[in-house]
A = this chain, B = another copy of it.
Amino acid sequence: MVKSKQKIATMKELSEAIGISRPTLSRFFQDQSAVRPSTSRKIRERLAEVDYVYNFIATRQNRKLSGLIGVIIPHYNDLFFTSLLEAIESAARKTGYTVITQSSDGKAKGEAQAVARLRSMSADGAIIAPLGLDSSIEAFQIAREDFPIVFADSRPAEPVDGTDFVGTDNAQSIAAVVDYLCRTGEPPAFLGMPPLNSNAVERERAYAGKMRSLGLEPRIVATGGARESWQFEAFGHGVMNDHFSHQRYTSETILCANDRIAIGAIRAANEHELFLRRGEPHSGLRIAGHDDHPLSQYMYPAVTTAAQDIEGIGQEALRLLIERIRGERMDDSVTVLREAALKIREST
């Protein structure tokens, strides 16, 4: 059994129990070095003996800054977004900010609600991976008057004044993959992602541009009536299973807009036994992805892909946001694009 410590609810009680004035304690909790070392030591010694958790809500009531940073992602069920989230959290930990995460649940309404919640919680700023085409620009514009916003990964269809963007340079990353694929085999066709956000548009455009610059004709894989969906694996599997069943694309090179689609496509290819084994002649089918999903290397064959610099994107987004929170920068808008690194694996 644990010796239960004396429970202290308010700072006032604490100041009495410890023999120090409340305002001094208030200063101590905001910055230990703001009080005399001997006082600081005295406070910490007594603090270790009692159970006091200062009231965050009351704390933030009067400060202009709440120390809270909101992060909004479309889904928790996507390891790309959770990786981004962890990168941001880890960076925030170092700078003393607390992260409040909200999922928009893939819906514009959820996104607007998440923004409103951050506003009502007096967040100092927000890093948002927006839904994209669906996003309510108005909600962002209004929120922008309350706190700075940095978009990460993807950006809204229309620009929002005074917001920054950090993402991957899709032109560079896609070009790198296309380049590699053309150098080592047949030029790729492109299996786009459902038109959910700016990446969907940019990557398809980057593919077409790179192909033309190589003097090749871009070819887009028909996705039939597949409707918008965040279930990328099912999407990739459904589309390619249909094609393979009709003997289409069975010995070509396919570049998927992201790894989750590639995982679905690879599954379809395996069902049709299109990947051959060591020692057998190469069937010609190659499938590449984009993002370096954590499980891509465990697929069989492992997915060739472009690894986004998620760590860098998270750090940079936080850095830009904090600059704005501190009022160190009032620019209209900053865009930071990070390069992705080609990861050559077995699938190509």
Contact = CB atoms under 8 A, between A and B. Distances in A.
Interface in A79-112: 79, 82-83, 85-86, 89-90, 98, 100-101, 103, 105
A65 to B, nearest CB: 13
Contacts of A116: 53
A309 B4 CA distance: 37
A28 interface: no
Contact of A142 (B5, B89, B138): B5
Interface in A125-156: 137-138, 141-142, 145-146
A194 interface: no
Contact of A79 (B58, B60, B79, B121): B79
Copies of this chain, tallied across the complex: 2
B273 A278 contact: yes
A277 interface: yes
Nearest to A54: B120
Nearest to A294: B77
Contact of A57 (B57, B77, B233, B277): B57
Contacts of A86: 75-77, 103
A287 interface: no
Contacts of A233: 294-295, 298
A308 to B, nearest CB: 15
B79 A85 contact: no
Contact of A117 (B98, B270, B299): B98
Nearest to A110: B93
Given A79-B79, A82-B76, A86-B76, A55 B263 contact: no
Nearest to A100: B100
A290 to B, nearest CB: 17
A55 B278 contact: no
Interface in A246-268: 263-264, 266-267
A7 interface: yes
A335 B56 CA distance: 32
Nearest to A60: B57
B82 A120 contact: no
B295 A141 contact: no
A58 B237 CA distance: 49
Contact of A122 (B51, B56, B61, B137): B56
A269 to B, nearest CB: 9
A180 interface: no
A330 interface: no
Nearest to A161: B1
B61 A57 contact: yes
A98 B120 CA distance: 12
Contacts of A263: 295, 298
Contacts of A85: 76
Contacts of A298: 233, 237, 263-264, 266-267
9 contacts: A2-B141, A55-B120, A58-B61, A77-B83, A82-B82, A233-B298, A237-B298, A267-B298, A267-B299
Q: Closest 3 interchain pairs by CB? A: A56-B120, A270-B300, A76-B82
Given A76-B86, A77-B294, A267-B302, 16 more contacts: A4-B142, A53-B119, A53-B120, A55-B122, A56-B120, A56-B121, A57-B57, A58-B61, A76-B82, A76-B85, A77-B79, A79-B79, A86-B103, A89-B103, A233-B294, A300-B300
